[in-house]
Amino acid sequence: MATVGHGQSSIGHDRQDNFSPRGRSLENDFRRLIDDERFHDIALKCSDGKIIYGCKAILATRSDVFNSSIFSETVDNKLSFKNINSTAMKIILEFLYTSKVEKENLTVDNVIEVYNASIDFKLIDLLEYLIEFTKKSLTDGDANVGKNLLSKCVEKFSLKVDNEISKILIEWVAKNKLEKTKIDSLSLEGLKYLLEKTLDAQTPFATPEFDIWQYTLVKVTRNVTKNETLVEKILNGNLFHCVLHN
């Protein structure tokens, strides 16, 4: 099989590792192939500039999207993905090779990126797994976990997002009171999305309307003070000058 050249160090192909002997576990046998350079014949350039390597036969067999792309878009055994970073791509490949994702590889910090990639690759089973992972993370974590995930979701998908994970996050954040005295990870875009989605909906909202106004004012103020350029404009009067003349 032709090998795509790359700078990753070669693994010891004959060494004993933590896997069971070949032939006893299909999952473990295919997990070995993920990092085995002898079977790398396609390079996947991700949105963060990093390149992940894989096996055409496995990717094309396991994914309709890869099957179509490999045989119609591949140039010099390379494919580019402008909306999928390398962390998400590694998990996508792990799932395609083994039908599983090891617990330590999926985290609150990358689940939104992986969810986005799973949508692009139309991996229904992985999407369902990610939803369950998100629900468990919300239940096991504190209120800030939901705010953090909602902010990441809006950042990744935009304010127009309307998918299963966004609905779960909206419901979760809405039922936890927004505290103006606490610094949390809900972004202004996340807050805007939350308010837009709950304005005319029947979603229970734990925060009274006046408290929402106070929370929003405090959050905006904190964001303004972090922006040194904006603060300087305000202090110099340039911002007001611009407002008055527009």
User: 142 with 109: CB under 8 angstroms?
Assistant: no
Q: Residue 4 has what pLDDT?
A: 61
**Tally of CA atoms within 13 A in the half-sphere of 228 that contains its CB:** 0
**Whole-number Å distance between alpha carbons of 12 and 102:** 22
Q: Residue 10 has what pLDDT?
A: 40
**Whole-number Å distance between alpha carbons of 124 and 118:** 8
Total H helices, total E strands in the chain: 12, 3
- Taking 50 as the pLDDT cut, the residues of the chain under it are 1-3, 8-16, 230, 234-235, 239-246
Q: Residue 232 has what pLDDT?
A: 59
At residue 182, what are phi and psi to the nearest 5 degrees?
-105, 140
Residue 197: Cβ within 10 Å count: 21
Q: Residue 170 has what pLDDT?
A: 95
User: 80 with 123: CB under 8 angstroms?
Assistant: no
Q: How does pLDDT run across 23-44, given as a tens digit for each residue?
A: 777 888 889 889 889 989 999 9
Q: Residue 18 has what pLDDT?
A: 64
Structural domains of the chain ordered from first start: 27-141 (3.30.710.10), 143-227 (no CATH)
Q: pTM for the whole thing?
A: 0.82
At residue 44, what are phi and psi to the nearest 5 degrees?
-115, 105
Q: Residue 153 has what pLDDT?
A: 97
